[in-house]
Amino acid sequence: MQIRNVAIIAHVDHGKTTLVDKLLSQSGAFREHQAVAERALDRNDLEKERGITILAKCTSVVWNNVRINIVDTPGHADFGGEVERILNMVDGALVLVDAAEGVLPQTKFVVGKALARGLNPIVVVNKIDRQDARPDEVHTEIFDLFAALGASDNQLDFPMLYASGRNGWADPTLDGPRQDLSALFDLMVQHVPAPKVKPDLPFAMVASILEYDNFLGRVLTGRVEQGVGKVNMPVKVLRQDGSVVETGRMTKLLSFRGLERVPVDEVEAGDIIAVAGLSEGTIPDTIGALELSGPLEAIPVDPPTLAMTFRINDGPLAGRDGKKVTSRQIRERLMREAEGNVAIKVTDSNETEAFEVAGRGELQLGVLIEQMRRESFELTIGRPRVLTRRNAETGEREEPMEDVLIDVDEPYTGVVVEKMSRRKGDLRDMRPSGGGKVRLTFHIPSRGLIGYHGEFLTDTRGTGIMNRLFAGYGPWKGAIEGRRAGALISTENGDAVHYALYYIQERGTMFVTPGDKVYQGMILGEHSRESDLEVNPIKEKKLTNIRAAGKDDAMLLIPPRKMSLEQAIAYVEDDELVEVTPTAIRLRKRYLDPNERKRFERKATADA
């Protein structure tokens, strides 16, 4: 059977996973009347809750006796490492672009990677049934993008379809019959080349995806580049430097059939398969026959730009919620994550029982922390910081920079430009985008965006859309103004009391409610002034024999400000930490004892 390997790439929320659902359905991958969840490939709980794809996944359909292996990729820039690896496995790419939103930063990123790999993409203008669709303008934007990225003449002559993934149709023209996706299936078969393989050479494949299966153990997925593989065949695993990591047997070979992985006895060059039975092989190792002379080439992945410190939870409430609290357990989990996610790097920190975790952005590291807390870990997380470098020629300090594209209602343009300028952002372009909206383009240091997204949504009343893309390194921009407000800090251990919180709330915004566990050094709220203020949240009312009827009823509390995990991580300053447990997210000072805090402040002032 002939094979085609295709990746679906696009900006976040442009409809990749929904389109894959319809491709599977119309190819007959599902039985008639089979109950299938919406966005069937998003199996992970966090993917279902957030409505985004976090991990790249393979599926397979058969069309006119041709097997099409389809790889669904994430759209968020933070998970760009997944996209980069996947492009090494495929011979074609389906570029999805929203008919209303048009070309956005992540579209530029994924298309640039696909063109650099020499792929000739198929373009699908999706969501054509939107009321604000502008297909002709979007077509022009896509062509301009290809040209700006240095596409060859072949790549510029891309085939294009208009589609509605949700309704399951794609047509070469806007006035087509709008019945099904047969035009897309036919185009994938005709336009995407068959894999260039060497069937007569020894078996070899590059591992591109690593997963853990409860029954099979470590499962490595990749494309067979050459030769034929058989079950129980002896193989060796080679690192990129040519060293042999391990030798073993491929105890299971799995091929993709619809949503399932099916055991097979033999695999051929060109097919995307999964292998079980190897204990040390990882990404991007080469798995090959014993007679293989050297490793296959693997695509390099862009380095991390942001780091956080993961520490044990050493607060007074440690160990009450989670079961995994030791540094050894945290280290094992982080190392396992780094093994399967090439965009994350883990190193030991200078602090005791702490680890430096570097990744692509706040969302990627926030997802990792959320996964760990659901696995019953307890941690404390430090403030995110960017990873700088020295310019090899000039010796100047450089920091990661990002291109930010913002769509915002016209009345909120002023406040967005002011806030971005304060964070060292340069306004590069400003133009109307229709419907009373303005599109702003900024070039800004990555650290200027830490903690800004929540503020941005507040400033734009939730109507603004912000998209960002790593744009390389640039000269250090100097100090950026941090959080202006101080913190309300607990002086006592115990349960927060209504009476005490009523009087504390006059001093700022509260983060806790009556009955919440509090401890010395925990942050209870945001002070209305720039300085920190120590308060007693467990102070009870002195009882007397004389009671005034109705007096206590007037002590109404303002609802507290509840933060999500990402908001909490972005909120803390250098001397503060986020305590994460399976049931709670708390903010605290790094040094809980007030005398120790003062010593640290004096030392920091002296060092400055």
Residues annotated in the binding site for GTP, as ranges?
13-18, 126-129
Residue 149 burial class via C-beta count within 10 angstroms: exposed 0-12, middle 13-18, buried 19 and up: middle
| CA separation for the pair 503, 523 (Å, rounded) | 16
Angle, to 10 degrees, between the axis of helix 135-148 and the axis of helix 105-116? Answer: 50
Query: DSSP characters for 267-314?
Result: EETT-EEEEE--SS--TTPEEEETT--SPPP----PPP-EEEEEE---
| CA separation for the pair 467, 452 (Å, rounded) | 12
| CA separation for the pair 455, 453 (Å, rounded) | 5
Q: How far is CA 323 from the centre of its chain?
A: 26
Cβ-contact 122, 158 below 8 angstroms: yes
Integer angstrom CA distances of residue 354 from 311, 365, 593, 601: 4, 16, 20, 21
Query: Cα torsion for 403, 408, 414, 417, to the nearest 10°?
Result: -10
CA atoms 99, 100, 103, 107: torsion sign: negative
Q: Is the peptide bond before 400 cis (omega within 30 degrees of 0)?
A: no
Cβ-contact 247, 254 below 8 angstroms: no
The distance in angstroms from the start CA to the end CA of the chain is: 68
Residue 371's identity, in one-letter code, is Q
Q: Which residues are annotated as a binding site?
A: 13-18, 126-129
| CA separation for the pair 186, 4 (Å, rounded) | 11
